[in-house]
Structure 1
């Protein structure tokens, strides 16, 4: 008789600690991101024990395709020996130095490398520990700059509905997903939100071109109503990632950039997800969308998730303006203990070597097959739209197409698909009724076929569930 697969609690973890003991410790001591109050401080999420290439291994020993690449970040794949060896070597050479009064070699070298990939003139970098702190830094720099320039009223920040920019206080205030603010405070008085640039959800009977005209005109009218003298920055993900991989209409970003330039509003491109190969380039702003932001925030793929690092690329002219001001003693009183961390910067340098050494080219080569393979899922009745760009895509499922409250049925669809896919060998990132896919850039065409086939089967099994339960036809 064949042996039955073991449950996660039956499989020992690292160092021989039993699986049930790891679960117990997590439930008793570990607080993980985005918990609900009904289980906060008392939950253990699914255990991942190992990774290699595009795969991870869960606690039950199942080998799963890492569909979301961790959290949009494991761009060079799991268990990359080059990155691991550089990390160890730098830790033995210099594990830390204070950025308040010293400089390390990797941070200086990385700064020059990043400036070489950024749009012309965007040639300075302030390092942070992740995406949220990168966005927070960009916003604080905007506020500081306007204070030094004698414009203390120019502080409003414009973001979009559906966008996501982080979990720190000011960054989270920009988020445009309603559930992000249901129970959390925010600096709402500093933020103005525009319509989400989602062509799929545009008003019925409106062309994509007309929808784009509306979005740009909405921003123009908002500037006129609020006053350009009060608006400090506009922040946008070139592709809305956690909002559902929303690819904006053609020329939308260029036209929004022009409005910012014409009204002396800083344009911040939030490339925490889209940078470092996700769209086939180190930075996507200019190379993919043809825009030259004043600032670019980044994180995630800069080290392929091997070390916490983020940063803000800042146009040099902004520093020149500050140096010409009458307040030479004004201090940008902002810093992080782990800014310019030597280990993180060393890993990022090697990560750039890998990207420049062929991984960017590979990502561009397989992206069309990736998009076409997932687009084919639109023939499934549960799928409303498949959209994406580069190696990021979203399969939006629409179970309820007729009622005024579709989320009442749709809300669990993503989780159901994820559960089925994990049984079949694929880790999915469910966002309510959406399945987001952003695999490691190392993925091959054959592995893309495997991923798409498993996702198809997971959706079909979910449809069967809904029909059997009598909630969907």
Structure 2
């Protein structure tokens, strides 16, 4: 702890310098053209448990858990120690012609938790590279099996699958692709499974049938011989915590199986505890995908690591092919990084020991307390699952129209909450919450109370400005 205090003293002394250096030299992710390369964002100095401390010394609840990833909380000494110990033993090895023990052990531990026959893991550096790897594997798989035309990918509105060229091409969120190129000739987009946005007068059962019929009709129209994979998040995370209707994913899985379309479940967010299990595909939604992608919570954000778990069936089919010399020409410098895998093993120990059970115990309380925010007239819906939640604001509940509101209403709420002691993930007209899994009931109460006040202050602002009458 003394070393941590010394480091913090150094950081605080250089805070002003860090802001200026960022404006001069640092390109932030997702910048606007008008400020690219000339922007400084909120400077964070410390983390401890579910809290972070900003440059002013203000202590904040880390509502987004970093970026859906600080699952076991900040400042876990056992994870820091593992990083040090592994670095002192073996800091790196080339994965091209050597291997390390932590990666092999982690692959086995992951297989023990994975549904169906998912038994082999290819490790990457994060979620985007995990999805990219899964898609490239699909392409390789079909090439080896003599089906070079079977490469199209089905994705959905509201989806977020990454920032690499191919993974980003799957994204279906507003504004993500307005100014960015993508492999549009390889992707077929379907409707978002968002029940809140279903047409007026259609019940959930009819909406589910519509989604499934659209999927089936698209496969028939495009041709199953041309479609290689469907990629879907069990819960659309950055799309606004969109929880699909009951039974929808199972029905989509069956259509994929019937048409020899690989089902890739993107669990970059939902994996490693966010829904109370290591993987949600089987334990929560009852499906057995052909591949699962993961990242974020696998190390609780302490080290960059991701991966894709692959079905034993797919590997056996390739081994039996007529092209045993075909090379899967894909790999990363940091594939199976020994430090990342060692951290993930210890992180998995912590999750299995108590955190997964704690998450399942407090999740209903978390969802119930967030739901009380629907009492506020600016709130159209509160939805979520596990320790994922979204507050969606609308101009009025009848039309559910967010466009009449200030488009930065989420940022307005976040600014008020920051002042009150809570960091929020603002998404246009939504506020997303995904706190560290170790959060207590009392801390949930604090978080929801601050969020309520932040929304209330935002309502007052909008009324004063004449933007919203409420």
Instruction: Give the TM-score band, short-chain normalised.
Output: over 0.9
How far does residue 81 in structure 1 lie from its aligned partner after superposition?
Answer: 0.6
2:388 aligns with 392
Tell me how far apart the structure 2 counterparts of residues 396 and 13 of structure 1 sit (CA, whole Å).
39
Select the residue among 416, 441, 444 that pairs with 1:445.
Answer: 441
2:172 aligns with 176
Tell me the SS of whatever aligns to 2:231.
strand
Tell me how far apart the structure 2 counterparts of residues 132 and 410 of structure 1 sit (CA, whole Å).
31
1:49 aligns with 45
Say yes or no: does 1:79 pair with 2:63: no
2:128 aligns with 132
- Contact 1:13/1:19 (8 A) holds in 2: no
How far does residue 468 in structure 1 lie from its aligned partner after superposition?
Answer: 1.0
2:331 aligns with 335
Aligned in 2, Cα 1:468/1:254: closer, same or farther, shift over 3 Å? same
Tell me the SS of whatever aligns to 1:289.
coil
How far does residue 15 in structure 1 lie from its aligned partner after superposition?
Answer: 4.7
Tell me the SS of whatever aligns to 1:210.
helix
Tell me how far apart the structure 1 counterparts of residues 271 and 248 of structure 2 sit (CA, whole Å).
19
Runs of 4+ in 1 over 6 A off after TM superposition: 402-405
Select the residue among 230, 233, 236 that pairs with 1:237.
Answer: 233
Unaligned stretches of 5+ residues in structure 2: 1-7
- Contact 1:163/1:177 (8 A) holds in 2: yes
1:275 aligns with 271
- Contact 1:129/1:339 (8 A) holds in 2: yes
Aligned in 2, Cα 1:37/1:140: closer, same or farther, shift over 3 Å? same
Say yes or no: does 1:294 pair with 2:290: yes
- Contact 1:397/1:410 (8 A) holds in 2: no
Say yes or no: does 1:366 pair with 2:362: yes
Tell me how far apart the structure 2 counterparts of residues 244 and 76 of structure 1 sit (CA, whole Å).
23
- Contact 2:380/2:396 (8 A) holds in 1: no
How far does residue 401 in structure 1 lie from its aligned partner after superposition?
Answer: 5.5
- Contact 1:244/1:436 (8 A) holds in 2: yes
Tell me how far apart the structure 1 counterparts of residues 251 and 406 of structure 2 sit (CA, whole Å).
34
**Alignment deviations for residues 326-369 of structure 1 (CA, whole Å, 9 cap, x no partner):** 11110000000000000000000000000000110000000000
Select the residue among 450, 454, 457 that pairs with 1:458.
Answer: 454
Tell me how far apart the structure 1 counterparts of residues 39 and 105 of structure 2 sit (CA, whole Å).
42
How far does residue 400 in structure 1 lie from its aligned partner after superposition?
Answer: 5.1
Q: TM-score, normalised by structure 2?
A: 0.97
Tell me the SS of whatever aligns to 2:324.
coil
Say yes or no: does 1:161 pair with 2:157: yes
Tell me the SS of whatever aligns to 2:188.
strand
Tell me how far apart the structure 1 counterparts of residues 239 and 12 of structure 2 sit (CA, whole Å).
40
Unaligned stretches of 5+ residues in structure 1: 1-11
Q: How does 1:187-202 map to 2 (within 5 A)?
A: 187-202=183-198
- Contact 2:241/2:383 (8 A) holds in 1: yes
Aligned in 2, Cα 1:222/1:276: closer, same or farther, shift over 3 Å? same
Say yes or no: does 1:212 pair with 2:231: no
1:5 aligns with none
- Contact 1:13/1:22 (8 A) holds in 2: no
Aligned in 2, Cα 1:13/1:180: closer, same or farther, shift over 3 Å? farther
- Alpha carbon RMSD of aligned pairs, Å? 1.2
Tell me how far apart the structure 2 counterparts of residues 19 and 359 of structure 1 sit (CA, whole Å).
34
Say yes or no: does 1:258 pair with 2:258: no
Select the residue among 136, 145, 148 that pairs with 1:149.
Answer: 145
Tell me the SS of whatever aligns to 1:178.
coil
Tell me the SS of whatever aligns to 1:409.
coil
Tell me how far apart the structure 1 counterparts of residues 37 and 394 of structure 2 sit (CA, whole Å).
33
**Alignment deviations for residues 401-434 of structure 1 (CA, whole Å, 9 cap, x no partner):** 6789742524111000000000000000000010
Tell me how far apart the structure 2 counterparts of residues 37 and 16 of structure 1 sit (CA, whole Å).
30
How far does residue 20 in structure 1 lie from its aligned partner after superposition?
Answer: 2.1
Aligned in 2, Cα 1:13/1:174: closer, same or farther, shift over 3 Å? farther
2:110 aligns with 114
**Alignment deviations for residues 6-32 of structure 1 (CA, whole Å, 9 cap, x no partner):** xxxxxx973564332111100000111
**Alignment deviations for residues 285-308 of structure 1 (CA, whole Å, 9 cap, x no partner):** 000000000000000000000000
How far does residue 120 in structure 1 lie from its aligned partner after superposition?
Answer: 2.7
Tell me the SS of whatever aligns to 1:305.
coil
Tell me how far apart the structure 1 counterparts of residues 209 and 401 of structure 2 sit (CA, whole Å).
28
How many residue pairs get matched? 462
Tell me how far apart the structure 2 counterparts of residues 289 and 315 of structure 1 sit (CA, whole Å).
18
